[in-house]
C-alpha cells in the first residue's frame, strides 16, 4: 500500500512546512471569524458616512475622515483573508479613484494587483527551461507556462466582468458582479498555480526549480486568494445584512439568456436529427480524418455552438481543445463505438497533467456518446483518459476508461450524467466544482500491493468553491476486485467530497476512506460527508473517525452539493438530452 504514495507524486509536501501552514491557517480562520463583525460595522459605517458626507458639504475634515475610513475599511476587509499583511500592503500602495471606502473598487483593485503580479512572473517557465537539462522538469515547466496563461485568462475575465457596467450609475456590489462566475474563475486561477507546483514536485520534489517557483508564485497565490476571500466575504456579509442579491433569472422556457435558439433546438433534438458543422471519420468520408484537425478548423471564442460529429471508430490521438475554443458540442455514435484513445503516462516521462488522451479547457464544451481511454495500463501509473478545465462543461453518456488517474476534473464547473467511469488509484481527481449524477463508477483490480481509491479531491484554499459531489450514482466493482477499495482520500488541506443518495456495493472497505499519508489523520479542515446512501457498502458505523468526516448530514446541508447551489446548473444546463436533477 505504501507504494501508492511513492509513485503518486501529487500533493507531496514537506511535513514540517505542512504543519506550519495548518497552524497558520487555523489562526487565520479564528481571526476571520472575529473580524466578520468588524467588517459589517465598517461597511454599514461607510454607507452611513457617505450619506452624511453628501448632506454636509461644510465638513472641512471630510477628506481626512474619508482617508481614515478607507484605511479602516481596507484593514477590515484584509482581515477576512488568509494573508492580511500582503492584502493590506498591496491595496494600500495603489491609489483609488477617491479616498472613499468603496468595496467594489477595492475588489477590482485586488484583481488588478493579482493580474499584474502573475503577468510579471509568467515568463519564468521559459527562462528556467533554458537553464536546465532535466527533460522531465522541462516538460513540467512547459505545463506551468500553459497553466499561467490559463490563470491569467481567469483573472482577466474576472476583471472584465467587473467593468461590464462601468457606465451604469449603480455602484452596488450586488448588481454589477457576476458573483458565482468570479468565485469560480478565481478558484480556478488558484488551482492553476497549485497545479504548476504539483507538477514540479512530481518530477523532483527536492529540486531548486521547485523552490524557486514557490518563491516566485508566493505573491501571485496570496493576491489571488485575497481577491477570492474579499468577494466571498463581502457578498456573504451583505447577504446577512439583508441586501438583496440580484441573480439572472431563467427564461420562461427554462434556459438562461445566453442559450441561443439554435442551442435549444440542438439540445432538444435526437442524435439522428442533428446537422453537424463538421464530421470526423477515419475513412475519409467526413470533413476531417482526425478530431484535432476538426478542432483546429473551428474559430476562436465563438459565442454560438459548433457541432462536431465523430463517427464510430477508435481515434488514436491526443486531442487538445484550448482556452480559446468555446462552445463546442461533440457527439459520437456510442461511447463503446466512438473512442478517443491515447497511452501517454508518467512512467515513460510525461507529467500527469499532460498524459490525458483528451484535454479541454475552452468553456461551454459538451460531449455526448463518446468514450475516452488511456491504454497505458496499470504498471505505467498516472495515465489520464480525460482532463477537463472547461467551465460549464457537460459530459453525457460518455465513458472514461483507464487505471490510475482516469478522470482529471481539474477546474471550473463540470457536470457528468449517465457516464461510466472505471479505474484504480485516485481515478476521479482534481479541483473542479463537479457533480457526477446517475453515473456508474467501477473500481477495477489494481497492481499487487495497491489499493483502490475512487476520489482524490484537491481543494487547497478555504475560499475555493470546489469539490466532488457524487449524486445518485452506482458504485460497484468492474469484474473481480480483491484489493481493498476506498471511496477516496483527501489530497489537500481543504479537500471536499460528498457522496449522497448513491448505491454502494459491499466490496468497499467498511472504513470508507483512507488517509493521504499513512497513519496520519487528515486536517480538520477537510469536508467529507455521506448522505442517505444505500447498498451493503453504505453503512457508516465503521467509517473513519476523522474530525473532518461527517457520516451523517442533514438534507439541508446535502442540498448545498446539488446542481443549483453547487455549480449553478439551473443557469446553464439544458433540460433536454442532457437531463439533470437540480436538487435532492
Exposed/middle/buried for residue 279 (C-beta within 10 Å: 0-12, 13-18, 19+) = middle
* Angstrom distance (rounded) from CA 368 to CA 393: 11
DSSP per-residue codes, 396-422: ES-EEE-STT-EEE-SSEEEEES-EEE
**How many residues belong to the chain?**
584
Is residue 333 flagged as an active site residue? no
* Angstrom distance (rounded) from CA 88 to CA 77: 9
Using CA of residue 234, residue 240, residue 244, residue 247, what is the dihedral sign?
A: positive
* Angstrom distance (rounded) from CA 84 to CA 96: 19
Tell which residue, 427, 419, 415, has the closest CA to residue 364. 415
Tell me if 153 sits within 8 A of 118, measured CB to CB. Answer: no
Helices (H) and strands (E) in the chain, counts: 14, 26
Q: What is the bridge-based pairing of β-strands 527-531 and 549-550? A: parallel
Containing 1, the helix (H) or strand (E) segment is none
C-beta neighbour count of 474 within 10 angstroms: 14
Tell which residue, 210, 203, 212, has the closest CA to residue 351. 203
Residues 6+ apart with CB under 8 A from 575: 254, 255
Out of 192, 391, 426, 493, pick the active-site residue.
426
| C-alpha triplet 340, 346, 352: angle, nearest 5° | 70
Helix 103-121 with 179-203: angle, nearest 10 deg: 30
Exposure b/e, 368-397, CB count within 10 A at least 16 = b: bbbbbbbbbebebbbbbbbbbbbbbbbbbb
* Angstrom distance (rounded) from CA 11 to CA 489: 12
* Angstrom distance (rounded) from CA 513 to CA 485: 9
3-class DSSP assignment, residue 236: helix
Distance from chain centroid for Cα 112: 21
DSSP per-residue codes, 302-351: -SS-EEEEE-SEEEES-EEE-TT---EEEEES-TTTEEEEE---TTTT--
Residues 6+ apart with CB under 8 A from 169: none
Exposure b/e, 553-570, CB count within 10 A at least 16 = b: beeeebbebbbbebbbbb
Q: Just list the catalytic residues.
A: 426
Amino acid at each position: 500500500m505504501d507504494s501508492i504514495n511513492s509513485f503518486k507524486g501529487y500533493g507531496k509536501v514537506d511535513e514540517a512546512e505542512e504543519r506550519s501552514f495548518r497552524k497558520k491557517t487555523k489562526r487565520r480562520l479564528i481571526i476571520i471569524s472575529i473580524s466578520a463583525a468588524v467588517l459589517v460595522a465598517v461597511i454599514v459605517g461607510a454607507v452611513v458616512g457617505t450619506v452624511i458626507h453628501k448632506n454636509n458639504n461644510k465638513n472641512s475634515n471630510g477628506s481626512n475622515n474619508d482617508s481614515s475610513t478607507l484605511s479602516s475599511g481596507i484593514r477590515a476587509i484584509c482581515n477576512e483573508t488568509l494573508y492580511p499583511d500582503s492584502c493590506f500592503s498591496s491595496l494600500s500602495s495603489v491609489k483609488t479613484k477617491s479616498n472613499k471606502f468603496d468595496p467594489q473598487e477595492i475588489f477590482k483593485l485586488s484583481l488588478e494587483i493579482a493580474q499584474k503580479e502573475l503577468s510579471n512572473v509568467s515568463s519564468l517557465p521559459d527562462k528556467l527551461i533554458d537553464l536546465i537539462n532535466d527533460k522531465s522538469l522541462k516538460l513540467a515547466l512547459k505545463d506551468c507556462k500553459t497553466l499561467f496563461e490559463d490563470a491569467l485568462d481567469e483573472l482577466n475575465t474576472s476583471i472584465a466582468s467587473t467593468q461590464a457596467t462601468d457606465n451604469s450609475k449603480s455602484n452596488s456590489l450586488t448588481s454589477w458582479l457576476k458573483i458565482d462566475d468570479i468565485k469560480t474563475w478565481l478558484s480556478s486561477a488558484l488551482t492553476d498555480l497549485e497545479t504548476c507546483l504539483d507538477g514540479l514536485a512530481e518530477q523532483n520534489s527536492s529540486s531548486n526549480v521547485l523552490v524557486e517557483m514557490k518563491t516566485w508564485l508566493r505573491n501571485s497565490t496570496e493576491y489571488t486568494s485575497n481577491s477570492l476571500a474579499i468577494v466571498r466575504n463581502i457578498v456573504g456579509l451583505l447577504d446577512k445584512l439583508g441586501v438583496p442579491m440580484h441573480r439572472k433569472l431563467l427564461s420562461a422556457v427554462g434556459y438562461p439568456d445566453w442559450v441561443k435558439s439554435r442551442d435549444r433546438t440542438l439540445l432538444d433534438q435526437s442524435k439522428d436529427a442533428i446537422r453537424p458543422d463538421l464530421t470526423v471519420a477515419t475513412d475519409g468520408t467526413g470533413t476531417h480524418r482526425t478530431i484535432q484537425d476538426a478542432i483546429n478548423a473551428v474559430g476562436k471564442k465563438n459565442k454560438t455552438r459548433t457541432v462536431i460529429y465523430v463517427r464510430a471508430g477508435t481515434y488514436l490521438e491526443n486531442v487538445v481543445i484550448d482556452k480559446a475554443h468555446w462552445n463546442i458540442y461533440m457527439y459520437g455514435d456510442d461511447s463503446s463505438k466512438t473512442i478517443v484513445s491515447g497511452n501517454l503516462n508518467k512512467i515513460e516521462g510525461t507529467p500527469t497533467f499532460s498524459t490525458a488522451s483528451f484535454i479541454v479547457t475552452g468553456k461551454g464544451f459538451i460531449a455526448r456518446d463518446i468514450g475516452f481511454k488511456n491504454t497505458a495500463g496499470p504498471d505505467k501509473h498516472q495515465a489520464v483518459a480525460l482532463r477537463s478545465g472547461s467551465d460549464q462543461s457537460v459530459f453525457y453518456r460518455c465513458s472514461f476508461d483507464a487505471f490510475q488517474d482516469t478522470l482529471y476534473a481539474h477546474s471550473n464547473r463540470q457536470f457528468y450524467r449517465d457516464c461510466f467511469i472505471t479505474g484504480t488509484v485516485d481515478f476521479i481527481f482534481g479541483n473542479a466544482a463537479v457533480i457526477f449524477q446517475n453515473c456508474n463508477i467501477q473500481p477495477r483490480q489494481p497492481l499487487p500491493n495497491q489499493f483502490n481509491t475512487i476520489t482524490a479531491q484537491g481543494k487547497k484554499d478555504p475560499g475555493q468553491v470546489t469539490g466532488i459531489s457524487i449524486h445518485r450514482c452506482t458504485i460497484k466493482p468492474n469484474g473481480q476486485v480483491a484489493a481493498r477499495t476506498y471511496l477516496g482520500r483527501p489530497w489537500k488541506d481543504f479537500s471536499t467530497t460528498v457522496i449522497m443518495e448513491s448505491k454502494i456495493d459491499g466490496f468497499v472497505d467498511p472504513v470508507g476512506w483512507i488517509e493521504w499519508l499513512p497513519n496520519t489523520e487528515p486536517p480538520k479542515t477537510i469536508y467529507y460527508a455521506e448522505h442517505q446512501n444505500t447498498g451493503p457498502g453504505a453503512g457508516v458505523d465503521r467509517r473513519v473517525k476523522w474530525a473532518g468526516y461527517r457520516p451523517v448530514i442533514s438534507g439541508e446541508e446535502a442540498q448545498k452539493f446539488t446542481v443549483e447551489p453547487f455549480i449553478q446548473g439551473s443557469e446553464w444546463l439544458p433540460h433536454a438530452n442532457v437531463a439533470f436533477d437540480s436538487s435532492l
